């Protein structure tokens, strides 16, 4: 968390002009902090406060520069408008107050044996103070903090000597405690950053602690030291017990689950009913050219509807209560992940090849989508790909994209035009897809392979395929049904539908001779 820190000691003239060194470079302050030249970022002007009290704005700093000696500031007290500024000028000119202190926010720092090497900080304000944090910070042409105390002693010779010495001793005692307090705060801040920030050092230390504790438990069992046992992960097994460290118990071996990414390119809608109907216009009016006195003829228009129903995916899993308890919650999470992968794969297959009966209508099974015949059962013809693109109206092909599986894409990458140039165009920018004839390529594992009579490639505007979500993946845990067998049943349900809304936006390639 960013926090404001205060460091720094200046001259004041009768007209209110004040200048000094706000911070000397390369030398530590009373708590060991060191600034280097160039590490302090400052605006053109800063408020001048008294004692870091935001309610006591006494002037403005309008010249802030870095020199070899340190960060120097020059400004003016608002003596004509602020009564407190006139009081501060009197204290400065009488040498009662000679210190400057900066308020800053640390952006970057390196811990030292005592204090910090601050490499980046943002300057917020500069205050006039009685005792600065840095012994070298000073009011220009004024005495140091020690000399100031000597002057105060001279000016107060008439006061009770014992009382003055007592107050000076209290001040010195408080100054001596500052380094210890700062050291403790730095340690607490470093410790908090390791835990909350999730740094690599903190994570490594935690893993090392768990390994050491687990090794101690394997050697001594329940007789292991209490401090070691506290570092182990305890399950909620009613018998009690200690589990292996998290890096051992939470690892599952799983195979890659591939599915077609059609959902990313189709138009997706959420619905609140079993299905949704879209009005469809099936024709246009019949306007005709007529003479000056001829009557207009009537036109008839026809309309229809396209219904996209939601279909249901269901399954359940029975899992041992012992596994649920001994895994510390990871088995339950793994089951949910497996269900999500399975449902995602099944719905993707439906979107591409679904029959429309009890499942979504697949993009490749829609009979209204036109196709181009390749002229060969296995060898792709580059010219036919060009025919597919220009078979669509210009308004549709502007948003066109290719879809095929990895094997077909490998064959397409080998195709060249009549001048020997590859049709496939690599992506030269991160995040941009590969292109064929200038149009992006979507790789879908569920598309058919090249073969006699197959449709391995489709081109078109995939937003014309509509996906409707009725119910997200719902998981219900039933621990009672099989409780006598020590099992828990996990039910999963998903309701989703899909259908081609405009077949005219697509063209398929059929690898066949005729």
C-alpha distances out from residue 422 to 315, 374, 412, 418, 429, Å: 47, 18, 9, 10, 19
Average pLDDT of the residues in 110-137: 77
∠ CA 391-394-396 to the nearest 5 degrees? Answer: 85
3-state secondary structure of 183: helix
Written as six digits, the tokens of 22 are: 């706000």
Average pLDDT of the residues in 69-88: 85
pLDDT tens digit sequence for 393-407: 999 989 999 999 999
Instruction: Tell me how crowded residue 167 is: count the other CB atoms within 10 A of its CB.
Output: 10
Would you say 126 and 103 are in contact if contact means Cβ atoms under 8 Å apart? Answer: yes
pLDDT tens digit sequence for 211-230: 666 666 555 555 666 666 55
Cα–Cα distance for residue pair 323/433, rounded to 1 Å:
43
Higher pLDDT, 321 or 6: 321
Cα–Cα distance for residue pair 446/350, rounded to 1 Å:
9
Instruction: Give the phi and the psi of residue 342 in degrees, each rounded to 5.
Output: -65, -45
Average pLDDT of the residues in 291-300: 81
Best-predicted range by mean pLDDT among 29-33, 62-66, 206-210?
A: 62-66
pLDDT tens digit sequence for 483-511: 899 999 999 898 999 999 999 999 999 99
Would you say 77 and 11 are in contact if contact means Cβ atoms under 8 Å apart? Answer: no
Q: Mean pLDDT lowest for which of 24-33, 120-129, 269-278, 466-475?
A: 24-33
Average pLDDT of the residues in 400-417: 90
Question: pTM of the predicted model, to two decimals?
Answer: 0.50
200's enclosing H/E stretch is: helix 200-220
Q: What local confidence, expressed as pLDDT, does residue 312 receive?
A: 92
State the residue for tokens 């690892």: 251
3-state secondary structure of 232: coil
Residue 198 has pLDDT above 70, yes or no: no
Handedness of CA 241, 242, 244, 246 (dihedral sign): positive
In this structure, the strands spanning 454-460 and 506-511 are antiparallel
Q: Mean pLDDT lowest for which of 8-22, 134-148, 415-429?
A: 134-148
Written as six digits, the tokens of 259 are: 């599915």
Best-predicted range by mean pLDDT among 125-139, 344-358, 420-434?
A: 344-358
Q: What local confidence, expressed as pLDDT, does residue 45 receive?
A: 86
∠ CA 132-135-136 to the nearest 5 degrees? Answer: 110
Instruction: Tell me how crowded residue 453 is: count the other CB atoms within 10 A of its CB.
Output: 10
- When the pLDDT of each residue in the chain is averaged and rounded to a whole number, the result is 77
Average pLDDT of the residues in 35-46: 82
Cα–Cα distance for residue pair 460/398, rounded to 1 Å:
9
Residue 351 has pLDDT above 90, yes or no: yes
C-alpha distances out from residue 233 to 4, 143, 203, Å: 39, 62, 16
Written as six digits, the tokens of 439 are: 């149009």
Which pLDDT band holds residue 152 (cuts at 50, 70, 90)? Answer: very low
510 closest CA partner among 408, 397, 376: 376
Residues paired with residue 467 on neighbouring β-strands, in sequence order: 268, 498
For the domain made up of 253-283+302-514, the CATH class stated in words is: alpha beta
Residue 168 has pLDDT above 80, yes or no: no
351 closest CA partner among 412, 403, 282: 403
Written as six digits, the tokens of 5 are: 């820190």
C-alpha distances out from residue 22 to 31, 125, 171, Å: 16, 10, 22
3-state secondary structure of 427: coil
Instruction: Give the phi and the psi of residue 377 in degrees, each rounded to 5.
Output: -75, -25
Cα–Cα distance for residue pair 67/333, rounded to 1 Å:
60
Locate the domains of the chain by residue range. Answer: 4-156+177-189, 203-249, 253-283+302-514
Cα–Cα distance for residue pair 410/197, rounded to 1 Å:
45
Written as six digits, the tokens of 379 are: 């060898």
């Amino acid at each position: 968390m960013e926090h404001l820190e205060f460091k720094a000691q200046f001259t004041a003239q009768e007209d209110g002009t004040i200048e000094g060194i706000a911070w000397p470079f390369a030398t530590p302050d009373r708590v060991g902090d060191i600034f280097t030249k160039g590490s302090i970022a400052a605006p053109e002007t800063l408020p001048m406060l008294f004692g870091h009290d935001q309610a006591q704005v006494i002037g403005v700093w309008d010249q802030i520069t870095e020199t070899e000696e340190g960060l120097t500031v020059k400004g003016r007290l608002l003596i004509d408008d602020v009564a407190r500024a006139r009081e501060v000028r009197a204290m400065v000119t009488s040498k009662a107050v000679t210190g400057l202190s900066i308020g800053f926010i640390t952006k970057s720092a390196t811990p030292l044996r005592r204090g910090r090497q601050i490499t980046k900080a943002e300057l917020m304000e500069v205050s006039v103070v009685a005792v600065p944090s840095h012994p070298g910070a000073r009011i220009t042409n004024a005495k140091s903090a020690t000399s100031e105390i000597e002057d105060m002693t001279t000016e107060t010779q008439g006061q009770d000597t014992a009382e003055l010495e007592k107050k000076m001793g209290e001040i010195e005692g408080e100054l001596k405690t500052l380094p210890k307090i700062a050291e403790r705060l730095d340690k607490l801040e470093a410790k908090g950053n390791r835990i909350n920030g999730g740094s690599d050092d903190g994570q490594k230390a935690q893993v090392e602690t768990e390994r050491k504790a687990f090794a101690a438990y394997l050697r001594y069992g329940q007789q292991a030291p209490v401090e070691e046992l506290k570092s182990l992960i305890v399950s909620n097994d009613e018998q009690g017990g200690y589990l292996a460290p998290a890096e051992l118990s939470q690892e599952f071996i799983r195979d890659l689950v591939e599915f077609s990414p059609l959902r990313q390119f189709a138009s997706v809608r959420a619905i609140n009913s079993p299905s949704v109907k879209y009005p469809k216009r099936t024709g246009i009016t019949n306007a005709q050219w007529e003479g000056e006195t001829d009557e207009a003829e009537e036109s008839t228009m026809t309309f229809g509807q396209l219904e996209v129903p939601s279909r249901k995916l269901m399954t359940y899993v029975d899992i041992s209560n012992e596994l649920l308890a001994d895994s510390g919650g990871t088995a339950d999470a793994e089951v949910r992940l497996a269900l999500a992968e399975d449902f995602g794969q099944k719905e993707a297959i439906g979107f591409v090849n679904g029959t429309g009966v009890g499942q979504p209508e697949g993009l490749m099974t829609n009979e209204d989508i036109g196709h181009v015949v390749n002229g060969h059962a296995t060898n792709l013809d580059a010219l036919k790909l060009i025919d597919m693109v220009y078979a669509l109206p210009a308004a549709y092909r502007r948003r066109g994209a290719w879809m095929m599986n990895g094997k077909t894409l490998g064959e397409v990458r080998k195709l060249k035009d009549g001048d020997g140039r590859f049709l496939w165009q690599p992506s030269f920018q991160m995040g941009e897809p590969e292109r064929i004839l200038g149009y992006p390529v979507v790789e879908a594992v569920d598309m058919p392979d090249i073969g006699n009579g197959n449709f391995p490639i489709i081109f078109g505007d995939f937003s014309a395929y509509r996906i409707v979500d009725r119910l997200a993946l719902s998981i219900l845990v039933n621990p009672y049904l099989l409780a006598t067998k020590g099992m828990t049943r996990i039910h999963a349900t998903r309701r989703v539908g899909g259908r081609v809304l405009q077949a005219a936006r697509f063209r398929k390639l059929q690898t066949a001779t005729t």
